[in-house]
Amino acid sequence: MARGWGGIWVIAAVAAVAAAALLTSGQPSAVDWRRLRAVALESDDWGLAGFVPESDAWSGLERETLSPGHFPAVYWNSTLEDSASVARLAAVLAGCRGRDGRPAVLQPNYVMSALEWNGRDWGRRDLPDLPVAYERPGLWRAVAEALAAGVWYPEYHAAWHYDPERRRQAVAAGGPALAAAERGIMLFPGSEAARELGPWRTTAELAAELDAGLAIFRRAFGRPAGAIIAPDYTWDGRCESLWASRGLRVIQAKREQRHPGLPPGAFGRALKVLERQWARVGHPDRVYLERNVRLEPVQAPDPAHVVASALAQTETAWRRGEPAIVETHRVNFAHGEPELAAEGRRALAAYLSGLAAGGGPRPVFVVDAEIAALARRGASAIVAGGRQILRNGSNSRRLVACAPSGNGQPGLVSLWLLDTGFHGVAEAGAGH
């Protein structure tokens, strides 16, 4: 009997140690982020034809009757960016340099497609094509200029940002949903809950949608997507497996994940922590990035306070040995009320100049693909603005390979041997 109990205690102790190891183990990094002082700016919702084509879209319509669900009030007049908003934001980014001489770079996470109601039925528009109500003359030229300036490094956010079938069904019922669709308004009854990656959607459907979205991304930006953020932070294990099978192994904001299948309350939160740690241990091929700085000035009454908090959070991230990964949605920089977008740009400029004025070495601005490569191998090579951006954040020489065109075509790979601490740029095609 006593031996039996002893055995149970041993098993319990082993389980406790295993649980503690699981809960505390992080993904190892090949670089010291305290020293690198890296900053990434992750910005969701670019390319999204919504929520409204312009703020006038609501006139004559009782927007509450639409019952889309809950979201911050500023989103009622969230709109698709235009050429001026992109160009002005690009100028703010270009005005701030990291200690490697490179400008601040935004990682706009893009939505690839939009449904368009033509009065009788639905059509689809794929970037850079847009619904008529969302025509933005010169937008793609402004994007091309921002890309060439090295301040714009797109990644993948969503195919539609909602379940398209739910929108079709809602509008088929007529009433305010139809009135909204006729005005180009993307919201519909229950739209907040109609998650693109909802558990009711079949894996085959999600796979087809992802393949189409990734092909549109590659055509629009000339390279494959390398990182993903799920719309509304809602996804499950099926989605991660699909992403990984398509080469998308850098996953943003794992800590924010909303699991459709988990119970509410403390038990659900505990399971979520376990699942996150389990994912890290069980999928060493995936890199999970956590947003540890929040810069959402237009949602707050005091943007200056948001900037001060974001600067403090950045210092905290570096002290903890993490890259600073900033969450800053498009709504801060493109809005139906231009004054709000100006406020967002001012806040970003204040954050960027605050980084430079912080006393320590200036930061370096990076994107997810670089964080993942630096963490894995100590060195990184990406193509941005037609140039190869090469980094060695480790304490030894590192060999990196880079495809100059960035389009994954064979025969174009160059190899670089980088000295310790190297941060530099090579013109694409000049490899050896």
Chain residues binding Zn ion by CB under 5 A are 44-45, 231
Instruction: Give 44 or 82: the residue with its C-beta nearer to Zn ion.
Output: 44
Q: What is the CA radius of gyration of the chain?
A: 23
Residue 276 is given by DSSP the state H
Instruction: Give 44 or 327: the residue with its C-beta nearer to Zn ion.
Output: 44
* Least Cβ distance, residue 265 to Zn ion (angstroms): 26
- Residue from 315, 338, 265, 267 nearest 77 by CA: 338
Residue 258 is given by DSSP the state B
Max CA separation in the chain (angstroms): 81
Instruction: Give 94 or 193: the residue with its C-beta nearer to Zn ion.
Output: 193
Amino acid letter for position 148: A
Instruction: Give 232 or 240: the residue with its C-beta nearer to Zn ion.
Output: 232
The SS3 of residue 397 is coil
* Least Cβ distance, residue 42 to Zn ion (angstroms): 11
Instruction: Give 231 or 393: the residue with its C-beta nearer to Zn ion.
Output: 231
- CA distances in angstroms from 55 to 60, 185, 307, 358, 375, listed in the order given: 12, 10, 27, 38, 43
* Least Cβ distance, residue 148 to Zn ion (angstroms): 26
Half-sphere exposure of 103 (CA within 13 A, CB side): 21
Extended beta strands in 199-276, E state: 227-228, 250-252
* Least Cβ distance, residue 178 to Zn ion (angstroms): 25
C-alpha–C-alpha distance, residues 365 and 206, integer Å? 33
The SS3 of residue 295 is coil
* Least Cβ distance, residue 158 to Zn ion (angstroms): 7
Instruction: Give 228 or 373: the residue with its C-beta nearer to Zn ion.
Output: 228
* Least Cβ distance, residue 232 to Zn ion (angstroms): 6
Cβ-in-10-Å burial (0-12, 13-18, 19+) of 61 comes to: middle
Contacts of 173 (CB under 8 A, 6+ apart): 189
Residue number of the CB closest to Zn ion reads: 44
* Least Cβ distance, residue 231 to Zn ion (angstroms): 5
Q: Virtual CA dihedral for 28, 31, 34, 40, nearest 10 degrees?
A: -90
Instruction: Give 45 or 240: the residue with its C-beta nearer to Zn ion.
Output: 45
What crossing angle do the helices spanning 303-319 and 338-356 adopt, rounded to 10°?
40
* Least Cβ distance, residue 410 to Zn ion (angstroms): 34
* Least Cβ distance, residue 161 to Zn ion (angstroms): 6
Instruction: Give 29 or 78: the residue with its C-beta nearer to Zn ion.
Output: 78
CB atoms within 10 A of CB 24: 8
- Residue from 193, 154, 81, 181 nearest 383 by CA: 154
